Amino acid sequence: MIKAILRKAYQTWGGSRPQTTGHNFAPKLDPSMFQQTKPEVVYLSNCESPNGQSSEMNYYRHTESSQHGEYPEATAFLEHQSWEGHSITGVFPDGNKFTSRIHDHDGPYYQVKGDGFNDYHKFACHKDTFRELYRDRNKTCYSVYYCQP
């Protein structure tokens, strides 16, 4: 990350010597260089449709892309089940697997209730508000837990 910040700073200065703060030891840095991307998120959701109930793991590359009913970037479809008390593994269309381990559902919203992992990261899974995550024709999915690295 440091290399990326320094590279961006060098590009910002156009490859020339940076301006200093007047003390000749610290260049003026653009605060945008320190902004980080929002983390990815996997939702453990329960869905309702005229055909009954189902459960899904819904993947979004950026958390902010999941706040206003956006359709997930990838979904692992599961039979309807309780998320708590055991490990559940979902397989996404690209073959990537995500395993969740939720301990219990008690306690306040947003509290860490378990963990999850895939081939790339460990995730902390938080209790969500059962808010509507997205709609797809006659199916509505609600977020029970959200997991982030």
> How many domains does the chain contain in total?
1
The answer, yes or no, to whether residue 34 has pLDDT greater than 80, is: no
* Dist CA 47 CA 96 (whole Å): 22
The answer, yes or no, to whether residue 89 has pLDDT greater than 80, is: yes
In a domain, 112, yes or no: yes
Predicted local distance difference test score (pLDDT) of residue 114: 98
Predicted local distance difference test score (pLDDT) of residue 113: 98
Nearest Cα neighbor of 37 from 71, 6, 65 is: 65
In a domain, 19, yes or no: no
The answer, yes or no, to whether residue 83 has pLDDT greater than 50, is: yes
In a domain, 101, yes or no: yes
In a domain, 133, yes or no: yes
Model confidence at 135, pLDDT cuts 50, 70, 90, reads very high
* Dist CA 145 CA 143 (whole Å): 6
* Dist CA 42 CA 19 (whole Å): 43
Max Cα–Cα distance, the chain, nearest Å:
70
Predicted local distance difference test score (pLDDT) of residue 38: 64
| Percent of the chain whose pLDDT exceeds 70 | 74
The answer, yes or no, to whether residue 72 has pLDDT greater than 70, is: yes
Model confidence at 32, pLDDT cuts 50, 70, 90, reads very low
Q: Which domain holds residue 82?
A: 41-148
